[in-house]
Chains A and B, each alone.
Chain A
Amino acid sequence: MDPECSRLLPALCAVLADPRQPVADDTCLEKLLDWFTTVTEAGSSLLLLQENPCLVELLFRVLKSQDLSSRILSFSLRLAGIFAAQEDCFQYLQQGELLPMLFGEVGPLGGAAWTAPAVRSGWIQGLRTLAQHPSALRFLAACGAVDTIFSLQGDSSLFVASAAGQLLVHILDLAMRGPAEGRCSPQACDWPACAQKIVCHIEDSLCSIATPQVTQALNVLTTVFGHCHGLWTQGLWVRLSPLVARLLEKDPVPASHSLVDLLLSVARSSVPSSDRGLWETLAQTLSHLSPTQAGPLALGILKLQDCPQALRTQAFGVLLQPLACVLEAAAQAPGPPGLLGGAAGDPMTVDVLLCSKSACVGLLCCALTHLGLLQPLPQRPSPWPQAPLLGAAVTVLRLCSGSVAPTSDVGGRLCAILVGCGRVQRAALDFLGALSQGAGPQESVMQVFSVLLEYLMSPESSSMVLKKAFQATLRWLLSSPKTPGCCDLDPRTQLFLRELLPVLQKRLCSPCWEVRDSGLEFLTQMTRHWGGQAGFRQALLASEVPELTKQLLQDPESYVRASAVTATGQLSSWGLLAAPASPERPGAQQKSLLVELLHVLCADSEGFPRRAVMQVFTEWLRDGHADVAEDPERFVARVLQAASRDQDWEVRAQGLELALVFLGRLLGPRGSHCPCAVALPEAAPPGTLAQALPEAAPPGTLAQALQVLCRVQLFEFAFRALFDCDRPVAQKSCDLLLFLRAKAAPCGSPQEAGDSPNVASVEATLQRWQAGEQGQPLGYLEPGAVMAVLRSIDLEGLRDTLAESSDHVEKSPRSLLQDMLAAVGVLGENEADCY
């Protein structure tokens, strides 16, 4: 321990044990405990206590004090636990009878303080930390702690109750780890007394008629099979499984959620390798639980790596049931039995679907979500009924929109329940999107596109439903098969696009900003993937979508403006924005997008659009956008000038990213040591910047490159950013300058300017900047002076300093102790850190 901390510790202990002193806040106490944990992990607790007797004294004083706050008492219990986790220290504390006084019946357990949940929680956590060795087990048995833990399982505080369950598992594991380890006999006589006691308690709880007790037992067992991996767990399951199976005989099955959790936990453990009966229990459970309760179990079973095929089939059937019922109910004519691979709608599921709106919605949403989660997994059931599932998702969506007219009574009632239900619509659209990963028969795919279009067009679709519809549509569009031998979109997709774009057009005019935003995001994604496809280009250019998108740069909602910036940037990259010169007004020059975006960057009052502009500009520079390639130097100069003045640190950071791309273009990409090496994307739009700038400047051209960088005032921007009050900006600038220095180092200095007055003035300005006086400009810099300054700054040192968290000084233990003492006036005010 730091000697200074040792010096401060007695005073702190005195403060903590003094009920008249204001109690330090919880955060400080937690930090203090963290620190003691670190100290005891690094060395001997016994030594710590011997060198700092004030700690033991604190524990004694806490016990004697009558009116101490519950937080200090809780803290002391946890502190004692930390010390007693080492067996020799445990013995040391035992000699002083301190531990029974803290954790036994004579301690807080019997007093008024016990009514505070914080004290009960501290008691449990203290014991949890303490219970690391056989002596602790004996202590627990001797002081009757296990019985108290049993009672705390039903504590009114959920935190306490949960911690009590976990402590029981920990004690059981500790007990079984010792002499019983390696034995999996279910016979209780082989097990340590402490373990026997806990298992008997679990058995009693499982047989209880009170559901909360059953739940507690099931939760404890779930934790056991999830966290304990000894062979004994197999024996435990053999012993308890009959009791668990007996729960299934009750109607309704008690604590079904916890039961499902337990069975899945056991199925994922090593038990199945020794007990094949588990699969039978799982099968029974699937058939006993209601469709809603069985869903999570079915999903869990299907996610298991190794499980009998029959059980998988049964579980898959459970998940398919609700959709099978929907398909059957909505069928216009009686179809073949078992629409979903043999899973015909059973009466029980139909009853749940029709009993109430909430039950119906809950069951359908769960089924759709579970199947959607299963779809991308390698262990999903095979064969996967893609076509019927597509049909079911489409039918659910049509029932929700009221566009299907079922003839059956069940269908009519389902329609009445589901019509306009946004929750089911969202779940079904998500599921439909997930299904895009698989193929489907032509007819089904047509239906999918048709229902998606219906939702995108419908005035009844809420903004969230529309967002999901756009997402699903994008997924289906992007998964459309390519026409063999042709790189363009297939005719069906093109036909769909022609219907889709007018809808998108209308959505971009929606009075609801969320809808406009979703529409723009959809357009951006579509353009990103299809910008080069002739069919898409043709359809888009024939529509008013590009023009509308440009108008949305003036949208009153900043999120929409940001999305419009990204979308127009993407459209422009692919040459999809420039409108042909108007024949009526040949002289009228259309304002270029570059100018408009620069205006957004300089004038927009919100950060999101400005950040979006910087991202677009960075992409444009990286991809060689034609507007940028005309005069990249001027472009970079204007952008950096605007970014350097921006109040938003993300804009400034993005400015440095753009500067880095520019450097890469001038001097070649960063080496492997650099985490964000510049790489051209595969589908880069055509541009001419690559020709305008050399990929990597040969050493001879370094001087010219530096001249360019000086002209665009990149150095002024980077140097300013180096002392930016926002650390990420300073870090990025540091990286950039280090990269530049590394690039220039092998070439030597272009001009020897180390002692020139220019260098001295720059260094002086930088020092003032570092001191916070950022008003003075650097003025025009000579490349030689820049290189000299770069060599003179300790960039590596700066990088290391920046890498440390901003409170690395303030969060030291010494600082913590000082602060806690200062808070109660023991130390002078100026000795405390301000944080």
Chain B
Amino acid sequence: MKLYCLSGHPTLPCNVLKFKSTTVMLDCGLDMTSTLNFLPLPLVQSPRLSNLPGWSLKDGNAFLDKELKECSGHVFVDSVPEFCLPETELIDLSTVDVILISNYHCMMALPYITEHTGFTGTVYATEPTVQIGRLLMEELVNFIERVPKAQSASLWKNKDIQRLLPSPLKDAVEVSTWRRCYTMQEVNSALSKIQLVGYSQKIELFGAVQVTPLSSGYALGSSNWIIQSHYEKVSYVSGSSLLTTHPQPMDQASLKNSDVLILTGLTQIPTANPDGMVGEFCSNLALTVRNGGNVLVPCYPSGVIYDLLECLYQYIDSAGLSSIPFYFISPVANSSLEFSQIFAEWLCHNKQTKVYLPEPPFPHAELIQTNKLKHYPSIHGDFSNDFRQPCVVFTGHPSLRFGDVVHFMELWGKSSLNTVIFTEPDFSYLEALAPYQPLAMKCIYCPIDTRLNFIQVSKLLKEVQPLHVVCPEQYTQPPPAQSHRMNLMIDCQPPAMSYRRAEVLALPFKRRYEKIEIMPEVGQGSF
């Protein structure tokens, strides 16, 4: 019984579990932090970005000046952004029988796996996960494809050249495996391999293993998974939340009595309380708008944005912001807002009861009705006619490397009246802002991550009492910047087994029983 660890990112996991003759891939997250090394893709020609000087080596050699550009002391690759894929060499991915998806953020590498590795199995995911995952992929593809870039940089990836580059390019790992974004065709093909499942539905895999998704409380349709045989039980906990937000609450009870609990997807900002951050978000938004400035919120088209809009719905009147327009710009904005209202069975109890009134579960329906919230597929078209300032714009991509957000950064970056508020915790805001320097606009970092923190994990583990815990190595020690915070790590007995990218772990199962079937003939012969 082995665990193959294909991703080093604790919140974008991709692991393969070999269990009872079945090969199960647990999530296939895509690490997009690699895009931070690339120049932004502007929707509108940006003289500033076009005129950035090429980078040359210390000795003056300028052979890389077409590929690498310098901006305020940082060096960026001037090419179509590329993504860091999960390990593909550690295990033959064509042998994977099934892929279990826990939430829509953890399926972004799916087309790379299903379309390019010889994968012939089935993917299991809940309906909201698939629908919203499709929106995220569609948005990503759209963001990248609508700004075609003729140039593709590859020289810098040469190992001998890479070591001559300044950080962080110098330290980027496995750049040779970085890939361009997939196409919509690949997305559609990958999604066609998904079989929809419901919470607590038991799925038999070859009669040897049974897998069951459980509500994880993090996002619409997000799941943890139970993988069990007759005498062994593995729980896979990925991206779970105990906070009362919009999804169905987490099912903890079913995780009890596990032999092994694989724990991933904890909060990326364990020191930040989401409630405090929402307060900070609202206060800074109000302050900026009252001063006549605009607010830019780089975000994904689904997830925390629903909760933010709900908070703002309650807040804007009290803050005297009723006349301020809120814009949500994404190729999938409309679908995202509509999907959120139709997945009632996947929502928390309060929102479910609204459906029977009948009322829309999320109040953003009312914001749209009253014209306080307007959504557009992009900055082109209707938006430019309706655009009114000061305003608040929610748009992607949170990396600030592609999408409509790039335009707003260029447009508003020069004025100190404006503010960019980072709410998504996936990207370092300082790195995201690097190609926009010098920047006059205010930057506020309010990461809202509702996933489990270490205190909650500690309580959860006491409650469900697994025999062994397996987790990414990042969770077994305090964060490097806060090495004294012993409370920012998993503390359990026996100590958690840790893994890192490209590692294979033998899980500590002790097989005591095995169910076997004896053919009558064999039985007669034996006795």
Interface: A664 (CB within 8 A)? no
Q: In the complex, A823 Cα to B308 Cα: how many Å?
A: 61
A412, A459, A551: the one contacting B486 at CB < 8 Å is A412
**Candidate in B273, B279, B485 with the most chain A CB atoms within 10 angstroms:** B279
> In the assembly, what is the distance between CA of A639 and CA of B283, in Å?
35
A615, chain B: closest CB distance, angstroms: 24
Chain B, interface size category, equals 20 to 34
Chain B residues in 8 Å Cβ range of A412: 484, 486
Contact B320 A551, beta carbon cutoff 8 Å: yes
Partner of A402, one of B277, B279, B482: B482
Asked if B526 is at the interface of the complex by the 8 Å CB criterion, the answer is no
CB nearest neighbor in B for A404: B484
Give every chain A residue within 8 A of B320 (Cβ-Cβ). Answer: 551, 554
Q: Which among A415, A544, A556 is the interface contact of B318 at CB below 8 angstroms?
A: A556
Instruction: Bits for A415-444, please: 1 = Cβ < 8 Å to B, else 0.
Output: 111011000000000000000000000000
Tell me how many residue pairs across A and B have CB atoms closer than 8 Å. Answer: 75
Query: CA separation between A411 and B483, bound complex, in Å?
Result: 12
- Asked if residues A511 and B314 are in contact (CB atoms below 8 Å), the reply is yes
Given A402-B271, A460-B273, A511-B318; A548-B290 close (CB under 8 Å):
yes
Closest A residue to B454 by CB, please name it: A416
Main secondary structure of the interface of B (DSSP, over half): helix
Interface string of B296-338 (1 = CB under 8 A from A): 0000000000000001001101111000000000000000000
Docked complex: B475-518 residues within 8 A CB-CB of A = 482-487
Indicate if the CB atoms of A511 and B279 lie closer than 8 Å. Answer: yes
Q: CB-CB < 8 A to A420: which residues of B?
A: 273
Instruction: Tell me which of B446, B482, B483 contacts A459 (CB under 8 A).
Output: B446
B284 within 8 A of partner (CB):
yes
> Is A509 an interface residue when CB atoms closer than 8 A count as contact?
yes
A515 and B280 CA atoms in complex are apart in Å by 12
Of residues 383 through 435 on chain A, the ones whose CB sits less than 8 Å from some CB of chain B are: 402, 405-407, 411-413, 415-417, 419-420
* Nearest chain A residue, comparing its CB with the CB of B487: A416
In the complex, per-residue mask of A506-522: 1 if CB is within 8 Å of any chain B CB, else 0 = 11011111010000000
Chain A residues whose CB sits within 8 angstroms of the CB of B315 once the complex forms: 511
- Taking a contact as CB atoms under 8 Å apart, the answer to whether B486 and A509 are in contact is no
Interchain CB contact under 8 A, A509 and B482: no
Look across to chain A and name the residue whose beta carbon is closest to the beta carbon of B488.
A416
Q: Which residues of A contact B271 (CB under 8 A)?
A: 402, 460
Query: Residue B291 at the A interface, CB < 8 A?
Result: yes
Taking CB atoms, residues of chain B closer than 8 Å to A510 are 279, 282-283
Q: Is B276 engaged at the interface, CB distance under 8 Å to the other chain? A: yes
Q: Nearest chain B CB to A762's CB is how many angstroms away?
A: 48
Q: Does A509 lie within 8 Å of B319, measured CB to CB?
A: yes
Are A415 and B319 touching (Cβ within 8 A)?
no
A611 to chain B, nearest CB (A): 21
Partner of B317, one of A406, A411, A416, A556: A556
Docked-complex contact A511 and B486, CB < 8 angstroms: no
Q: How many residues of A contact B (CB 8 A)?
A: 33
Per the bound structure, the CA–CA distance linking A348 and B414 in Å amounts to: 59
Known: A459-B276, A459-B277, A544-B290. A415 touches B283 (CB 8 A): no
A506 to B283 CA separation, bound complex (whole angstroms): 6
| A723 CB to nearest chain B CB (Å) | 41
Residue on B nearest A420 in the bound complex, by CB = B273
Report the bound CA distance from A402 to B446 in whole Å. Answer: 18
Q: How far is A511 from B483 in the complex, measured between Cα atoms in Å?
A: 33
Q: Do A419 and B279 form a contact, CB below 8 Å, given A459-B273, A506-B284?
A: no
Are A557 and B486 touching (Cβ within 8 A)?
no
**Structural contact, A406 and B484, CB atoms closer than 8 A:** yes
B318, A460: Cβ atoms closer than 8 Å = no
- Contact (Cβ within 8 A) A402 B282: no
Is B278's beta carbon under 8 Å from chain A? Answer: yes
A419 with B485: CB separation less than 8 A: yes
Give a binary string over B197-238; 1 marks a CB under 8 Å from any A CB, 0 the rest: 000000000000000000000000000000000000000000
Q: Which chain A residue lies CB-closest to B445?
A: A459
Contact B485 A416 (CB under 8 A): yes
Residue of A412, A413, A547 most packed against chain B (CB within 10 A): A412
Min CB distance A580 to B, Å, is: 17
Task: Indicate whether A413 sits within 8 Å of B279 (C-beta atoms), given known contacts A506-B284, A544-B290.
Answer: no
Question: Is B196 engaged at the interface, CB distance under 8 Å to the other chain?
Answer: no
User: Contacts of A415 on B, CB cut-off 8 Å?
Assistant: 484-487
Residues of A within 8 A of B277 (CB): 459
| Residues in B lying within 8 Å of A, measured CB to CB | 271-273, 276-280, 282-284, 286-287, 290-291, 311, 314-315, 317-320, 446, 482-487
Extra contacts, 4 of them, besides A459-B279, A556-B318 (Cβ < 8 A), are A459-B272, A511-B319, A512-B279, A548-B290
A-B contact pairs, 29 of them (CB 8 A): A402-B271, A407-B484, A412-B486, A415-B484, A416-B485, A416-B486, A417-B487, A419-B485, A419-B487, A420-B273, A459-B279, A459-B280, A459-B446, A460-B273, A460-B276, A461-B276, A506-B284, A509-B283, A509-B290, A510-B282, A511-B278, A511-B282, A511-B318, A511-B319, A513-B318, A544-B291, A547-B290, A554-B320, A556-B317
- Give 10 nearest A-B pairs by CB, closest first: A459-B276, A416-B487, A509-B286, A459-B280, A509-B283, A405-B484, A511-B282, A416-B486, A556-B318, A506-B283
